[in-house]
Amino acid sequence: MIIDCHGHYTTAPRQHEGWRSEQIEAHKAGKPSPPRPRITDDEIRESIANGQLKVQRERGTDLTIFSPRAAGMGHHLGDAATSEAWASACNELIHRVCSLFPKNFIGVAMLPQSARVSPRNCLREIDRCVGEYGFVGVNLNPDPSGGHWQDPPLSDRYWYPVYEKMAEHDIPAMIHVSAACNPAYHTTGSHYLNGDTVGFNQLMTSSVFKDFPTIKFVIPHGGGAVPYHWGRFRGLAQDAKLGLLSDLMLNNIFFDTCVYHLPGQELLAKVIPAENILFASEMIGAVRGIDPETGHHYDDTKRYIDQLPLSAEEKGKIFESNARRVYGRLSRIIEEQSAKAI
Ligand SMILES: [Zn+2]
């Protein structure tokens, strides 16, 4: 089985994002939110069958761990109440996709975060998504201000209520920022990769893994700058007398393969042990074009991994067994959802 651990519902029916715009406009005007739009099962089916499902089939992957559109989370917009209503609507839609296509999609939750609001307000939504929807993870935004970095670092006890919940449910968090509202950043070009790198560095210099030995984080987009600068981080850990970086991080930190060229994948696989790499493409997402150098989509990441000089056993870890290990509930939910599909 080939499990893509990083996909977003970027093709949701138009009225879903339309409602979000109306909700934020109403909030600005001090008015109540409009009623949620009607979205039919057929509209959802069409958006997936012609989108992510089609790409899965074309590329020979089996299952996508699926979450709401990341740039659409917009935790810097509105307030805690608008974030709560929006996260609830987005997660419900993911649950509907997973119910309609139980063999192909398993859910991950976006959280109702809001800049400078304690992440304690996310706990109820985590319980709901794990308990009612069978979701297997969350996306945690280390910068709900959208590029102004106004919240404490991930090392701070501010985040511990979320970590306690992750440990309780045995669910990992993907560290994933949303859209940038700071014009210095391009959302998917610099803000995403910066979020990945910042998140890793904050956790590296923290006691989070001493306090939560079983907790797991996925750093998306190939780990941002981390694998390329592994020597720098090793040296920083050594200078700070934190011990070996591999001992410090590799029980708890995993890197996905959303790297859109072969040399980048080669470097990732050379620097990071196969046990810590999870297959992912982030399709249909940030980069949708075809690479003229290869004639294939940039985000067709399976092609790069197929070409890596790794053993079949190592590739099996990257494509399947690491995901089952990192997402502790995944194997059970695969069985439950497959039973529903029969
Ligand atoms: Zn993403």
**CA 187 – ligand 1 centroid, Å:** 11
331 CA to middle of ligand 1, Å? 22
Q: pLDDT tens digits, residue range 22-33?
A: 999 999 999 999
Residue 324: its pLDDT value, please? 98
| pLDDT exceeds cutoff 80 at 11 | yes
Task: Calculate how far, in angstroms, residue 342's C-alpha sits from the geometric centre of ligand 1.
Answer: 30
> What type of residue is 293?
E
pLDDT mean over 177-201: 97
This prediction has a pTM of: 0.97
Residue 314 is a catalytic residue: no
What is the chain's mean pLDDT, rounded? 97
63 in Cβ contact with 331 (< 8 Å):
no
d(CA 273, ligand 1 centre) in Å: 22
Please determine, for residue 342, whether its predicted confidence score (pLDDT) is greater than 80.
Answer: no
Q: What is the pLDDT of residues 284-326, one digit of tens each?
A: 988 999 999 999 999 999 999 999 999 999 999 999 999 999 9
Predicted local distance difference test score (pLDDT) of residue 312? 98
CA 43 to ligand 1 centroid distance, Å: 23
How far is ligand 1, taken at its centre, from the CA of residue 239, in Å?
Answer: 33
Exactly one of 25, 132, 168, 282 is catalytic; name it: 282
Cα of 108 vs centre of ligand 1, distance in Å, is 11
Q: In percent, how much of the chain has pLDDT > 90?
A: 99
Q: If you measure from the C-alpha of residue 7 to the centroid of ligand 1, how many angstroms do you get, rounded to a whole number?
A: 6
Which pLDDT score, from 0 to 100, does residue 303 have?
97
Residues, beta carbon < 5 Å, ion ligand 1: 70, 282
